[in-house]
């Protein structure tokens, strides 16, 4: 009996560890869809402003303001983009109907290609949705406004990242995100990474 119970407990703990690892992996993939600075700011300030989930009236107001500002940042960042100008520097701007604003003169870049598209609104909606998932899975914020039981929290941890991750994958296949706005990897870093990959392949071909 003792050995059997030990095996059961061991298998249960290993399964729980596996589920937790899968959840963290799914959540990590979702967080990549959000601006890095916004996620860092929320994770840093949430425990402090919410008093680690033990909220008073002031804490609720401050946490609510934090949620609003971070949600707005996630929404706004999807409408920003970057490009490398004639001066070889990375410039950021806001996508408009005509192109990107502000748009200094650039002979080598067609700024009209950065104009506003339907995909931007789709990405903005899903960015806010993903941020909402991050908030719901944050014990401090949930405990501040609406405390839930451990069983409900475990269910949310299992279900939410998987469902939203699946939806996001389908949506981003239909509406691929080609922007490199504020809080995301810039156009210059993306270009340099592509160049390094192509350079590596050239070396490999040379060796063979």
Give the pLDDT confidence score for residue 12 in this predicted structure: 42
Position 7 pLDDT exceeds 50: no
Average the pLDDT over 130-151 and give the result: 87
Residue pLDDT, tens place only, 87-109: 888 888 999 998 888 876 667 78
Interval 147-193: pLDDT, tens:
888 788 778 877 888 888 788 778 888 888 888 888 887 655 554 44
Q: Within 32-98, where are the H helices?
A: 36-49, 57-77
Burial status of residue 132 (CB atoms within 10 A of its CB: 0-12, 13-18, 19 or more): middle
Look at residue 75 in the predicted model and tell me its pLDDT: 95
pTM for this model (two decimals): 0.74
Segment 44-65 mean pLDDT: 93
Distance separating alpha carbons of residues 35 and 123, to the nearest angstrom = 12
């Amino acid at each position: 009996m003792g050995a059997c119970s030990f095996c059961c407990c061991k298998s249960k703990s290993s399964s729980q560890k596996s589920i937790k690892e899968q959840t963290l992996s799914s959540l990590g993939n979702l967080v990549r869809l959000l601006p890095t600075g916004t996620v860092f700011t929320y994770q840093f300030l949430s425990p402090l402003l919410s008093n680690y989930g033990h909220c008073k009236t002031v804490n609720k107001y401050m946490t609510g303001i934090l949620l609003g500002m971070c949600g707005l940042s996630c929404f706004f960042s999807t409408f920003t983009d970057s490009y490398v100008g004639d001066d070889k520097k990375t410039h950021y701007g806001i996508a408009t109907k005509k192109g990107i604003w502000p748009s200094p003169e650039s002979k080598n870049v067609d700024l009209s290609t950065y104009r506003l598209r339907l995909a931007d609104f789709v990405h903005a909606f899903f960015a806010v949705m993903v941020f909402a998932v991050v908030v719901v899975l944050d014990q401090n914020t949930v405990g501040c406004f609406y405390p839930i039981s451990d069983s409900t929290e475990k269910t949310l941890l299992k279900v939410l990242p998987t469902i939203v991750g699946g939806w996001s994958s389908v949506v981003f296949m239909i509406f691929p995100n080609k922007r490199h706005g504020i809080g995301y990897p810039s156009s210059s870093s993306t270009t340099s990474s592509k160049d390094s990959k192509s350079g590596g392949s050239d070396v490999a071909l040379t060796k063979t």
